[in-house]
């Protein structure tokens, strides 16, 4: 799936998931079909340049954003407001 195939609510959710520390890129790919480079492209297109730089700095080499390097003890947090009705 490309960024053009996502509607506005899906793009909003992908951006929200990308900002979350405990949501790995693999979860975004599973749900929306965007791999890590696709998420980076989407974030670059949608965010202001300064916000994009802050986000890239935040997620670069962050173990919780990559399932392959994240520790077993890192669980998945659940927030009751996370899943919003469409």
What confidence tier does 82 reach under pLDDT thresholds 50, 70, 90? low
Supply 72's token pair: 């077993």
Has residue 46 been placed in a domain?
Answer: yes
Q: What is the dihedral of CA 20, 23, 28, 30, to 10 degrees?
A: -160
Considering the domain boundaries, does residue 84 fall inside one?
no
Range of the domain at 50: 3-65
Q: Is residue 50 part of a domain?
A: yes
**pTM tops 0.75:** no
Q: Three-state DSSP class for 73?
A: coil
Q: Please report whether residue 82 resides in a domain.
A: no
Is residue 73 included in any domain, yes or no? no
Is position 86 within any domain?
A: no
Q: Which long-range contacts (CB under 8 A, 24 or more apart) does 27-35 make?
A: 32/1, 32/6, 33/1, 33/5, 34/1, 34/3, 34/6
- Does residue 71 belong to any structural domain of this protein? no
- Domains in the chain, number: 1
| pLDDT tens profile 13-33 | 999 999 988 888 989 999 999
């Amino acid at each position: 799936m490309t960024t053009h195939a996502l509607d506005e609510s899906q793009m909003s959710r992908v951006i929200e998931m990308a900002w979350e520390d405990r949501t790995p890129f693999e979860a975004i790919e599973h749900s929306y079909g965007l791999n890590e480079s696709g998420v980076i492209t989407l974030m670059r297109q949608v965010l202001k340049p300064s916000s994009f730089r802050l986000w890239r700095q935040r997620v670069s080499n962050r173990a919780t954003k990559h399932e392959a390097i994240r520790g077993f003890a890192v669980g998945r947090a659940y927030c009751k407001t996370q899943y919003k009705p469409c």
